[in-house]
Amino acid sequence: MADLTAVLGPLQLPNPVLVASGTFGYGEEYGTYIDLNRLGGIMVKGTTLHPRRGNRPPRIVETPAGLLNSVGLQNPGVDAVISEELPKLKELKCPVIVNIAGSTVDEYAQVAARLDGHPTVAALEINVSCPNVNEGGMAFGTDPAMVREVVQAVRGSTDLPLICKLSPNVGDIVQVAEAAVEAGAQILSLINTVLGMSIDVGTRRPTLTNVFGGLSGPAIRPIAVRMVWEVYQALRVPIIGMGGIASGRDALEFILAGAGAVAVGSANFTDPGVCLKIIRELEEYIEAQGLDGLSSLVGAAHP
Amino acid sequence: MLTTVRKNTMLTDRIYRLTLSAPQVAADAQPGQFVHVRTVPPTSWDPFLRRPLSIHDCSREEGIIALLYEVVGRGTTLLSRLRPGDEVDLLGPLGRGFTLVPDRRPVLVGGGLGLAPLLFLARRLREARQRPVVLVGCRRGSDVVAIDDFAALDCKVEVATEDGSLGCKGMVTTLAEKHLECEDAVYACGPRPMLAAIAGLCRGAGALLQVSLEEKMGCGIGACLVCACPTPKGYARVCTDGPVFWAEEVDLRG
Ligand SMILES: Cc1cc2nc3c(=O)[nH]c(=O)nc-3n(C[C@H](O)[C@H](O)[C@H](O)COP(=O)(O)OP(=O)(O)OC[C@H]3O[C@@H](n4cnc5c(N)ncnc54)[C@H](O)[C@@H]3O)c2cc1C
Ligand SMILES: Cc1cc2nc3c(=O)[nH]c(=O)nc-3n(C[C@H](O)[C@H](O)[C@H](O)COP(=O)(O)O)c2cc1C
Ligand code: FES
């Protein structure tokens, strides 16, 4: 069988197909449908210092080939994640990556410090798409200077491999990517959801109580592929690509654009078996092409 | 899981009953649970999300389940085009169903298509030798479906329509006011305002109440947290903590 091992800087994955944060809980629920040990890795739900209630429903609206969500980072807080959730993931064969979030730089640093050295955690993924309460609610990820500050603070709080998850809601993704790498991120993941909105013409009000939501699913795939391409071209750093992946072909697009691994989010809702299907399709592709592994394909679409 | 369409019967201009060969679902299903239905073949990603539909009826012996649905948008329009022999991909049975309360008179309250899960419930209550009273409320007489199926189970059925074209004129709450007794176990499904009104009546009468709630869903299995329903202890997930809740567990005004 083809060897699908993926090496991203300090992080080694058994195969390049991870599940994206917030779409897969802590894995438990999907464990009924698939063997979680066969995944390339699990990126668990966004974790904050204190518990978060999340936004008022409705939190989801279907859009063409995708959906808008406004969950609002509902989570039990880092202490409960450490005491309740991570122990359940201990026996898992695939790496567990914890996605961390905050409303101040210090909050990110504190969450990272509590997770530092945890034996079940293979890496931290910093979600910079959150509003910075000290900057009038502007998302950290929209400003290279704020991204630098967050990543530096987290870097100072942990020795775990660091992934910075970039927001697509920016003018120049390369600038933000550069800031994250300079501040100590060893891997970049992209993209988070695209800011969007839907209006209910019946009630003449925004469909989501939160007004805006994050767009995900196949609808955003071309945006995500373009951004992976741009970042790889400029920086040649290890990248986890995501945004609308639902098949092996989709995953290959990201890999050819420069991603060493991919993450699958919303497509799990439609098909809980989709990740295993994607892994199988990647294996078939490698065998059909007579390749040893995936590494020669990473970024291969670049001239 | 792939299932096969047996029948897809048009009951009114907008309401259909879809009968599926689904032995595994039929074997495991409890009344009040739902299935998460993909409305397009596995190669298509638009519409993207699955559609949650209550298990309307279920026969373990025959390995079939029935869904009762109203055509309201893209997904249900696609379902209405299914023909016998077509394959339908579904997840389920999902969620927490009704708890059958022994030794209390069961009163089943359905507003509109909230009636859907109550037939399967009535069947299981009959198997437990209880005789349900079924209260049904609809806008017009022409929207009233499945009444004969309840009657065939020897349930006592009362109908209210807003325009008075069938049964008594008014809402299902009008019927509930008339029929509720303090020792009743009430099982209700329908629009949120109706459930809130029924909850008020049950509190007044000292009756036990379970409600089946609707919320828009993503995964349907508890992982994504989009199907939030307010409770005194924070948000619950309608897909896994529900869709059936004891009335005290949830905030029905939210
Ligand atoms: C647990 C549960 C059980 C249900 N059981 C039944 C049933 O037995 N019979 C029936 O006719 N309907 C039932 N519904 C409602 C049914 O899910 C919606 O009518 C259906 O999803 C509409 O899909 P659509 O594509 O036709 O409509 P659209 O409006 O085009 O759908 C757009 C999106 O909104 C979602 N949506 C729209 N209305 C609802 C709603 N009321 N509840 C949840 N999601 C919604 C859809 O799933 C889809 O994601 C149930 C809902 C839930 C949560
Ligand atoms: C319901 C939902 C919740 C999400 N929660 C988070 C989160 O907590 N943290 C985060 O970094 N990204 C979160 N995301 C973004 C996804 O991880 C992913 O970046 C995005 O959805 C694009 O991938 P997809 O199109 O495959 O879903 C969430 C997405 C969805 C749909
Ligand atoms: S629909 Fe995903 S948690 Fe309920």
Domain boundaries, chain B: 2-94, 105-249
Residues 6+ apart with CB under 8 A from A64: A219, B46
Per cent of chain B over pLDDT 90 is 93
Question: Is the pLDDT at A54 greater than 80, yes or no?
Answer: yes
Sign of CA dihedral A112, A113, A114, A117: positive
Question: Is the pLDDT at B193 greater than 90, yes or no?
Answer: yes
Question: Is the pLDDT at A2 greater than 90, yes or no?
Answer: no
What is the pLDDT averaged over residues A187-204?
97
Tell me the pLDDT tens digit for each residue of B205-241: 999 999 999 999 999 999 999 999 999 999 999 999 9
What is the pLDDT averaged over residues A226-240?
98
- Using the beta-carbon criterion (under 8 Å), do A56 and B230 form an inter-chain contact? yes
- Nearest 5°: CA angle at B175, between B172 and B179? 140
The one catalytic residue among A94, A130, A164, A275? A130
What is the pLDDT at residue A132? 80
Instruction: Give Dmax (Cα) for chain B.
Output: 53
CA of B145 to the centre of ligand 1 (A): 18
Residue B253: which pLDDT band, with cuts at 50, 70 and 90? confident
What is the pLDDT at residue A50? 96
Chain B positions in Cβ-Cβ contact with residue A217 (cut-off 8 Å): 45, 48
CA distance B113 to B79: 16
Which residues 49-88 of A are in CB contact (within 8 Å) with B? 53-67, 69, 71, 74
Question: Is the pLDDT at B70 greater than 80, yes or no?
Answer: yes
Residue B254: which pLDDT band, with cuts at 50, 70 and 90? low
What is the pLDDT at residue B42? 87
What is the pLDDT averaged over residues B3-26?
97
Options 3.90.1580.10, 2.40.128.20, 2.40.10.10, 2.40.30.10; CATH for B2-94 is 2.40.30.10
Q: Which of A15, A22, A20 is nearest to A42 (CA)?
A: A20
List the single range of A202-206, A273-277, B88-92, B140-144 with lowest mean pLDDT.
Answer: B140-144
Sheet (strand A194-197) strand order: A60-63, A66-69, A212-216, A194-197
Tell me the pLDDT tens digit for each residue of A132-184: 888 877 899 999 999 999 999 999 999 999 999 999 999 999 999 999 999 99
Task: Say which residue the tokens 């096969």 belong to.
Answer: B4
B235 touches chain A (CB under 8 A): yes
- CATH fold label, A6-55+72-195+216-297: TIM Barrel (3.20.20)
Question: Is the pLDDT at B52 greater than 80, yes or no?
Answer: yes
Q: How many CB atoms lie within 10 A of CB A200?
A: 12
Residues 6+ apart with CB under 8 A from A26: A42, A44, A45, A85, A88, A89
What ligand 2 atom has the least distance to the C-alpha of A220? 25
Q: What is the DSSP string of B189-224?
A: ES-HHHHHHHHHHHHHHT-EEEEE-----SSSSSSS
Give yes or no: A164 in active site: no
For B39, name the nearest residue in chain A, comparing CA atoms only: A270
Question: Is the pLDDT at A213 greater than 70, yes or no?
Answer: yes
Which residues 165-224 of B are in CB contact (within 8 Å) with A? 215-224
Q: Kindly report the average pLDDT of chain B as a whole number.
A: 95
Q: Judge whether A63 and A198 are in contact, CB under 8 Å.
A: yes
Per cent of chain A over pLDDT 70 is 100
Kindly provide the ipTM of the predicted complex, given to two decimals.
Answer: 0.95
Residue A1: which pLDDT band, with cuts at 50, 70 and 90? low
Per cent of chain A over pLDDT 90 is 96
Q: Mean pLDDT highest for which of B135-149, B172-186, B212-226? A: B212-226
Q: Judge whether A12 and A97 are in contact, CB under 8 Å.
A: no
Q: Judge whether A151 and A164 are in contact, CB under 8 Å.
A: yes
Which residue of B43, B45, B221, B231 is the best one to mutate when testing the A interface, meaning the one whose CB has the most A CBs within 10 A?
A: B45
What is the pLDDT at residue A3? 87
Question: Is the pLDDT at A254 greater than 90, yes or no?
Answer: yes
- The architecture of the domain spanning B105-249 is 3-Layer(aba) Sandwich (3.40)
